[in-house]
Structure 1
């Protein structure tokens, strides 16, 4: 039993690769391709760990997994799946899977997970309930798999989450998913955009106020912390919070207590914090515009959302999803011609998923035909191919000139500041494309792995936030 692994996989090529790799690690492997055969082998013997696909020859590999986990708590189960959706990741987590790997996966990472599972057989997530329907996120791209896996890892704990990403990438959707699928789902979900609240009112908005606390406070008001008691408080655009409010927020996070403006009594609150920002907080910390201690308090579990340009393969399913939403809201029912999909894929989508949603709703309303074609897309959102800058347009060089004009680095820092501005998006792109694997990212970039690791440390880029 000490070295036996059960592999349940109906793709013979994948099964052979995994079996060979496990054998090279010294494991004995029993292999089958169906739910029925898996159950028979489990009834007949014990295994150090189980690797199972989801779509098997005779059914869903996740069916009955919760029962197996409950009965055999010392036998970790690793789930493999080509059904790369948030629903699949959450189902695997809810069934008590030790780890989840979307296909295609990094074989070295899989073997490392098997080794960890064999050593940590009793370190298991708690089996939960069936996931909620209507999961809010769409996309099966490799870039989104890291997001899904990070979400599943925080569902059964109250660790603070910091969601990072450009405007329009869906940060609030991630926060909602963490709440809806987590153990606090029966409690309230309260969202507050800290950038939309005037600085003089933000403390009252978050912590509430007593009657007479300030001019206009004619009644007592309950703040967002108290409203979210027992549930989740989502602090959006946290990078725009005024300095004074940052100090009071830090105190509340440290103590688990708040005090209303004008009040004397401290009130205990039980709130899970999820924060989000589209800003790079590192330079703001250096410039004294964001508290470093608050950053570390918030950045317990970072989740990096990829921009739409880094998940182009998700544009078609997203567009079809938004067409369905538009029809549900009473707009004409439309479909997409393949040429329209191609046109959507070459658009730059600087506003990310939010811009795509608005464009699809506009197409649903105004397209001349029920089948939307490329001409309709170009008329509604412009001809991206015609307007896209080329190398001869000096697009990148021009962007660098604009950055230099706006950033105005201090004297003596111009070269290194420019280099950092260039390297950060380059390294983040490479890590996102390789699921946080530094060796593969270095190969993609064409540089030495040690060089990459050194620069990641200097730029304060955490490769783990891109892991899948």
Structure 2
């Protein structure tokens, strides 16, 4: 008989599929639909791993785990959940879950995780559960966001450097805040620095501080952001806009764990967790000599890519209701929104991403005359939906892009990235179709690194094999 696995799942169809897949791999599976059944089986048998749903017929599959953990402290637990929020992912981390799978999940990935858990059975320990944070900053249950949540939970108990990638307005600072608020440094400070907003000649002083008299205007000593963030998290936003001279000093600080104030001689040890972010593609900047390659590798230890809003449209209703509640809490009138209005908002292109959506919802909350916002109100306040223009190689990229630009209202600072996103998918699909799905040839034709192409294909959910059909 193979190793025994306990499956706690009240959806019979899901339980049947998982059981069949695990038994095919040689595992013996015990199934139960309830917490009572789980505790009874755990008292009778020793399992190599347990898979558990969160919402069960008689309670919360995570909240009720204390007794199971007491009797089986080394039991690897894999959490399954249709409650696909960041809160659920964090709760799975808090009980030291071996892995967390949002539903629907990839069955092969799940089986692989069970195999790993079974091999390592008996080596996991349970950390202290952290307090639940009801004010988690990220909203959305789409498949696109599930990967983000899973990556966040993987870095909460360590100090690995994180590089958050994504277009302007996607919520990169919210990811940094979540890593800080939910991680083991949450009692320390969270300090954010926007490299694009600081004059180049002042950025080193901003980061590392300066001594009195270090330069004209330095009339007193100043403590930099590294020292202010000591014991906590330093968020370096728009890292791609940092001048090369400051990049060199930043790299030295990251390598040594110490900084020196501008005009100072003393090395000052710092203890900070670094989360950086950019809306730029850093690899071409490295090739052009505008970003240090060694700094890139130092920052890009754990990359987290935030999807643009157009790739997570299923989250728009939840985001709209979230922002309406926020607007009411900040003094605007309290409103509801009907399904037709949500459908209209979901058809917008949102080149400014979540930030643009938030501003639009606040505008609706200000301008709406009735308690419930309907489709006509959205039309009168925001105009017609600006849907993405379909692009194909035969129509001519330049012509279609020109038409799209003429029909699209864009907030300041987003034009380049919105235009690139509009044309990138059909461009990749066309080139891959011409190369029969060969990524090496496609990268050569495009003039980009193959790793860059592979990453963008993953981000855009493009299957190169289907492009070559």
TM class by smaller structure: 0.7 to 0.9
Q: Write the distance in 2 (CA, Å) between the matches of 1:179 and 1:94.
A: 15
Q: Write the distance in 2 (CA, Å) between the matches of 1:349 and 1:98.
A: 37
Task: Assess if the C-alpha contact under 8 Å between 1:239 and 1:281 holds in 2.
Answer: yes
Counterparts in 2 of 1:142 and 1:395: CA distance versus 1, 3 Å: farther
Task: Assess if the C-alpha contact under 8 Å between 1:54 and 1:80 holds in 2.
Answer: yes
Q: Write the distance in 1 (CA, Å) between the matches of 2:44 and 2:127.
A: 25
2:184 maps to what in 1? 183
| TM superposition shift of 1:125 | 6.6
1:132 maps to what in 2? 133
2:218 maps to what in 1? 217
Measured against aligned partners, the alpha-carbon deviations of 1:416-435 in whole angstroms (never above 9, x if no partner) come to xxxx9999656999xxxxxx
SS of 2:52 mapped into structure 1: strand
2:38 maps to what in 1? 38
| TM superposition shift of 1:357 | 0.4
Q: Write the distance in 2 (CA, Å) between the matches of 1:388 and 1:402.
A: 11
SS of 1:383 mapped into structure 2: coil
Q: Write the distance in 2 (CA, Å) between the matches of 1:336 and 1:366.
A: 13
Counterparts in 2 of 1:366 and 1:428: CA distance versus 1, 3 Å: farther
Q: Write the distance in 1 (CA, Å) between the matches of 2:186 and 2:295.
A: 26
Task: Assess if the C-alpha contact under 8 Å between 1:146 and 1:467 holds in 2.
Answer: no
Task: Assess if the C-alpha contact under 8 Å between 1:98 and 1:125 holds in 2.
Answer: no
Measured against aligned partners, the alpha-carbon deviations of 1:295-352 in whole angstroms (never above 9, x if no partner) come to 0000000000000000001000100110001111111111111111111001100000
Task: Assess if the C-alpha contact under 8 Å between 1:2 and 1:48 holds in 2.
Answer: no
> Which consecutive unaligned segments of at least 5 residues does structure 2 have?
405-419, 444-448, 462-469
TM-score by length of 1: 0.87
Task: Assess if the C-alpha contact under 8 Å between 1:47 and 1:75 holds in 2.
Answer: yes
Measured against aligned partners, the alpha-carbon deviations of 1:363-422 in whole angstroms (never above 9, x if no partner) come to 00011222111121122222026x75456995844366799xxxxxxxxxxxxxxxx999
1:459 maps to what in 2? 452
Counterparts in 2 of 1:5 and 1:375: CA distance versus 1, 3 Å: same
Task: Assess if the C-alpha contact under 8 Å between 1:304 and 1:465 holds in 2.
Answer: no
2:84 maps to what in 1? 84
Matches within 5 A, 1:52-201: 52-66=52-66, 68-69=68-69, 71-121=71-121, 122-123=123-124, 126-201=127-202
Q: Write the distance in 2 (CA, Å) between the matches of 1:50 and 1:78.
A: 6
1:308 maps to what in 2? 309
Task: Assess if the C-alpha contact under 8 Å between 1:98 and 1:124 holds in 2.
Answer: no
Number of equivalences? 437
| TM superposition shift of 1:68 | 3.2
| TM superposition shift of 1:120 | 1.9
Q: Write the distance in 1 (CA, Å) between the matches of 2:155 and 2:52.
A: 23
Task: Assess if the C-alpha contact under 8 Å between 1:96 and 1:127 holds in 2.
Answer: no
1:384 aligns with 2:385: yes
Task: Assess if the C-alpha contact under 8 Å between 2:73 and 2:126 holds in 1.
Answer: no
> Which consecutive unaligned segments of at least 5 residues does structure 1 have?
404-419, 430-441
2:359 maps to what in 1? 358
Counterparts in 2 of 1:124 and 1:161: CA distance versus 1, 3 Å: farther
TM-score by length of 2: 0.86
Counterparts in 2 of 1:61 and 1:446: CA distance versus 1, 3 Å: farther
SS of 1:64 mapped into structure 2: helix
1:417 maps to what in 2? none
Task: Assess if the C-alpha contact under 8 Å between 1:333 and 1:370 holds in 2.
Answer: yes
Counterparts in 2 of 1:65 and 1:397: CA distance versus 1, 3 Å: farther
Measured against aligned partners, the alpha-carbon deviations of 1:77-136 in whole angstroms (never above 9, x if no partner) come to 000000000001101110111000000001001001101111122155734313322111
Measured against aligned partners, the alpha-carbon deviations of 1:257-301 in whole angstroms (never above 9, x if no partner) come to 000000000000000000000001111011010000000000000
2:375 maps to what in 1? 374
Q: Write the distance in 1 (CA, Å) between the matches of 2:112 and 2:290.
A: 41
Counterparts in 2 of 1:327 and 1:187: CA distance versus 1, 3 Å: same
Task: Assess if the C-alpha contact under 8 Å between 2:3 and 2:28 holds in 1.
Answer: yes
SS of 1:263 mapped into structure 2: coil
Q: Write the distance in 2 (CA, Å) between the matches of 1:200 and 1:66.
A: 55
1:342 maps to what in 2? 343
SS of 2:113 mapped into structure 1: helix
2:253 maps to what in 1? 252
